Amino acid sequence: MDAGSSLRGILLVAGATFFWSLSGVFVRWLPDIDPWSFNAFRGLGLGLSMALWIALRYGRGSMELLRRSPVAGLLISAGFFALGSSLYIASLDLASVAAVSCLTATSGLFAALMARFFLGERTPPIFYFAMLLALGGVAAIALGEGDARVQGLAGTLTGLAVAACFAAQSVALRRYRAFDMEPAFLLGGFVTFSAIMALGLVIVPPWQSMAVLLLMGLVQLAIPLVLYMYGARSVATSHMVLITMADAVLNPLWVWMVHGEVPPHAVYLGGALVLGAIALTAFTPAVSAAPAGTGVTDP
C-alpha cells in the first residue's frame, strides 16, 4: 500500500471521528425531544441522505448496487445500527456525554472479542488484558456518575450495550467488506424510523426541531459513515481504533465549549483507564486471518 493511499485513509477516518463527535452537541440542543422521537427523525435524516448519496454516487447503477448487496450483511448491519443508535440516544438521558463517550469507546475491544469467535481471527493476549483494564474504567464511571445509583448503573449498562452493538455492526461490515455497504446504512436509517413509528412512540416535534434532527442524520451519521467506510479500505485496524477513540475526548469537549456541561470527576479517572486500554491495543499489531469465504485480506 502506498503512503499517499494510507494518508488519505487516515484523513477520512479522522474526518469521520470529528463528525461522530458532534452527537452530544446536537442532543443537548434539543433537550425537550423525547429519545424515541429524536432517534426516529435522526434515522430518517440518515436514510434520506444515504438515498441521495447512492443516487449521486452510483447513478444508473444504484439498483445494481442494491441487487448485489448480501442480504444477511444488510440485515445484520442495519439491525445492530438501529438498536445501537436508539440505545445511544437513550443513554444520553441517563448519563453525561463524557461518560457515554468513554463507555462507547470500548467498542473496539468488544469487536476484537467478537472477531475471534465469529470470524476466526486470532487476537493477541494483550487485547484481553486491555478489556479488563477498560472494565475497571467502566466501573469507575458507574460509581461516580451522578447521585442516583440506579440512574448511573442504567446509564453505564446502556452505554456498554451501545458499544456492543457498534462492535457487532463493525464485525458484520468487516465480514462483508468485499461489498459496497452503503445500502446497509440506508436500510438502518429507514428501519430505525419505521420501527419506532410502528410502535407508536413518536411525538412529531416542531418543524425547527425536526429540521435539526434531519440535519443531524446527515452531518453526524451519513457523512461519517461514508468517510469511515472508504477510509477503512486503506487503514490498518489498529490505526482505526487509535483514531476513532478520539471521540471520547472530542465529544465532551464540544459539549463543554457549546453548552457548558462539566463532566463528573470520576469520568476523568474512568476515561483515562478506558482510553489507556484502547491505546494499548491500538499500538499492538493484530495477527489475524481473513474470514473464510470472503476472498479478501486485511486492509
Considering the domain boundaries, does residue 148 fall inside one? Answer: yes
pLDDT exceeds cutoff 60 at 76? yes
Amino acid at residue number 111: A
Q: Give the model's pLDDT for residue 293.
A: 33
- What is the rounded average pLDDT of the residues 57-78? 87
- Structural contact between residues 274 and 138, judged by C-beta atoms closer than 8 angstroms: yes
User: What percent of the chain has a predicted confidence (pLDDT) above 70?
Assistant: 84
Q: Tell me, yes or no, whether 46 lies in a domain.
A: yes
Whether the pLDDT of residue 23 is over 90: the answer is no
Q: Is the four-CA dihedral 208, 212, 213, 215 of positive or negative sign? A: positive
- pLDDT: which is higher, 70 or 175: 70
- Report whether pLDDT(19) > 90: yes
3-state class of 192 per DSSP? Answer: helix
Instruction: Give percent above pLDDT 90 in the chain.
Output: 16
Task: Please indicate, yes or no, if residue 295 is contained in any of the structural domains.
Answer: no
Residue 207 lies in a domain: yes
Res. 297: pLDDT tops 70: no
Residue 151 has pLDDT above 90, yes or no: no
State how far the Cα of 243 lies from the Cα of 226, in Å rounded to an integer. Answer: 16
Per-residue model confidence (pLDDT) at position 215: 95
Instruction: Give the residue-averaged pLDDT of 140-163.
Output: 71
Count Cβ atoms below 10 Å from residue 265 Cβ, excluding itself.
9
Determine the structural domain holding residue 200 and report its residue range: 3-282
Rg (CA), the chain: 19
- Tell me if the pTM is above 0.85: no
**pLDDT value at residue 186:** 93
What one-character-per-residue DSSP string does 48-68 give? Answer: HHHHHHHHHHHGGGHHHHHHH
Number of neighbouring beta carbons within 10 Å of residue 184: 28
Residue with cell 472508504: 230
Range with the lowest mean pLDDT among 13-17, 145-149, 243-247? Answer: 145-149
Average pLDDT value for the chain: 79
User: Is residue 242 in a domain?
Assistant: yes
Cell of 105: 469507546
Q: Are 117 and 171 in contact (CB under 8 A)?
A: no
- Please give the pLDDT value at position 28: 85
Reported as a pLDDT band with limits 50, 70 and 90, residue 201 is confident
Does a structural domain hold residue 293?
Answer: no
For residues 142 and 126, which has the higher predicted lDDT (pLDDT)? 126
Q: What per-residue confidence (pLDDT) applies to 4?
A: 64
Confidence of residue 202 (pLDDT cuts 50, 70, 90): confident
SS3 of 130-159: HHHHHHHHHHHHHHHCCCCHHHHHHHHHHH
Residue-level pLDDT at 109: 74
Dihedral sign for Cα atoms in the order 133, 137, 140, 142: negative
| Alpha carbon 218 to its chain's center | 15
Spatial distance between the Cα atoms of 158 and 153, rounded to a whole number of angstroms: 8
Q: What is the DSSP string of 261-280?
A: -PPPHHHHHHHHHHHHHHHH
Q: Which of 117-121, 147-151, 253-257 is predicted with the least confidence, judged by mean pLDDT?
A: 147-151
Measured CA to CA, the distance from residue 25 to residue 21 in angstroms comes to 8
* Dist CA 81 CA 83 (whole Å): 6
The stretch 70-93 carries a mean pLDDT of 84
- What is the average pLDDT across 231-253? 71
Looking at per-residue pLDDT, the higher value among 117 and 225 belongs to: 225
Residue at 22 is within a domain: yes
Task: Report the pLDDT value the prediction gives residue 42, as an integer from 0 to 100.
Answer: 92
Beta carbons within 8 Å of 92's beta carbon, 6+ residues apart: 23, 24, 27, 35, 100
With bands split at pLDDT 50, 70 and 90, how would you rate the model's confidence at 123?
A: low
Q: Could you give the number of structural domains in the chain? A: 1
Q: Does the pLDDT at position 292 exceed 70? A: no
| Domain annotation covers residue 169 | yes
CA distances from 197 to 36, 38, 51 (A): 9, 12, 20
Residue 14 predicted with pLDDT over 70: yes
Nearest to 139 by CA among 281, 269, 278: 269
Distance CA 103, CA 47 (A): 26
